Amino acid sequence: MTKLKQIAIALPVAAIISALAACSSANDGVAGSEGSGADGSRARLYNSPEDMASDSSAVIVGTVSGTRTVDDIDATTDFTLSDLRVDKVLKGGFAEGASITVRQLGSKEQAPPATLLKPGSEYLLYLTASGLDGDLAKQYYVTGGNAGLYAASANSTASTRANLAADDAGFAQVDPEPGENLPESLTAESALG
């Protein structure tokens, strides 16, 4: 095998390994099974929202407008891409109302290691730039694979997009990780610490 062929094979494999390391916790294998906990462990556990915000390119409140499954790294590994409308910017260079794409490993057909974002749902998200090439460079991963994923709380009194983006709207951690010291719930006001 030529050196060029070896490199062509090694690059997609390295990208998948990096994605798996970032998302190495596991839930019960059912997409969207919120609060299922984790069987694996992440590469880094966070002690505070400040630590997680420091590792993040952006922190936003957003609403998922749609999802799709792609296999754009290799032909066998599914990624779910979620399009989000940015409702509030807490960190990062987005404009409110902008559209961004969040990448998550797995799909409904391939058990994801973390809960997948749901269309129509609102989230407080800590995001990390994908680090991928070309148009994929414009996409983001959830920081820590699942650490930076907080969903609008069922007990939150907010019921409209404007209220969910309010500083005091509540968001609950979706996939808590044993041994991590992140709060079970956050508001936009407390998200940066």
pLDDT digits (tens, 9 = 90+) for 125-152: 999 999 999 999 999 999 998 999 999 9
Is 96 within a domain?
yes
Question: Is 51 among the domain residues?
Answer: yes
Is residue 8 over pLDDT 80?
A: no
Domain membership flag for residue 49? yes
157 falls within a domain: yes
Q: Is residue 22 part of a domain?
A: yes
Overall domain count for the chain: 1
Full residue range of the structural domain in which residue 99 is found = 3-187
Predicted TM-score (pTM) of the model is: 0.76
pLDDT above 70: residue 39: no
Which runs of E-coded beta strand occur in 108-179? 122-129, 140-142, 149-152, 170-173
Q: Can you tell me the distance from the alpha carbon of 82 to that of 116, in angstroms, rounded to the nearest whole number? A: 9
Q: What is the rounded average pLDDT for all residues in the chain?
A: 80
Residue 109: CB atoms within 10 A of its CB come to 8
Nearest residue to 158 (alpha-carbon basis) of 82, 92, 102, 87: 87
87 domain-assigned: yes
What is the structure's pLDDT at 65? 98
Domain contains 192: no
What pLDDT digit, counting tens, does each position of 80-127 carry?
999 999 999 999 999 999 999 999 999 999 999 999 999 999 999 999
∠ CA 46-67-54, nearest 5°, is 20
Residue 193 resides in a domain = no
pLDDT tens for residues 46-73? 999 999 999 999 999 999 999 999 999 9
Distances (CA, A) of 156 to 35, 42, 131, 169: 17, 29, 34, 6
- Assigned token pair, 9: 């094979």
